[in-house]
Structure 1
């Protein structure tokens, strides 16, 4: 029998405490399900996650219809109370709804109009310039994902050749 890693246990306890505090701050009743869902979003805060990905990545609910329903209800409640935001996630090639913690920096993405290639850029200066340009034109850049449509060099070369 192997001994549990105390670091993971401490990290899990810290995640539970953080998730519990966020739920309480939002006036949401604390349940084990809500703490687990929010804990996953806190732990994996690098991008927006679909409900299916969350179910497969730690909730053990991927094939249980009732658990999937509870997950969607939990995500909907968290979104209504401003704890999470919902974004269109299209990294798989087809759009789906993803969820991430509210206030988390969303990525700046470039998508090719022709081949749908998606490139993520974590350039804070570029984001600030886009926000400034948008504000000057009366088009504020949203807090969620910022998507810039382009034609990639591969497609541009194919179109001109």
Structure 2
């Protein structure tokens, strides 16, 4: 189910060096009985320094309110671009890239095979060709057909 959701609505992709906002949840300075309370989330400016696009995690270098520089890994849903229009473009680009990866090459293989078969028919109809060349071309067509069948199996 999760893979289907990611395929339909892929998360934004950020490259190294992008300026981003990070949703940072730190600890509150007050101490309550039973432990430290968790403060409300705040937004910090940061810069992407590393990316793991398979897990949709990014290492971001940011400066806290105490002026300390640190870097942590964040999930993609904890990061956003500084400009809303850039975020929309990144989401659209990620969606297009996901569609490109899922394209089935079966139609391309059939189209190439049909073109080669038409060329084979044209060449064999001409009486100029020798029989050995016809046999070699026939063997080549069988090889192309087998390769297309293998690629179709891999695409599934």
* TM > 0.5 fold call: no
Q: Give TM class, smaller chain.
A: under 0.3
Output the TM-score relative to the length of structure 1: 0.23
Larger radius of gyration: 2
Higher strand share: 2
Q: Which fold has the larger relative contact order, with Cα–Cα distance below 8 Å and residues 6 or more apart in sequence?
A: 2
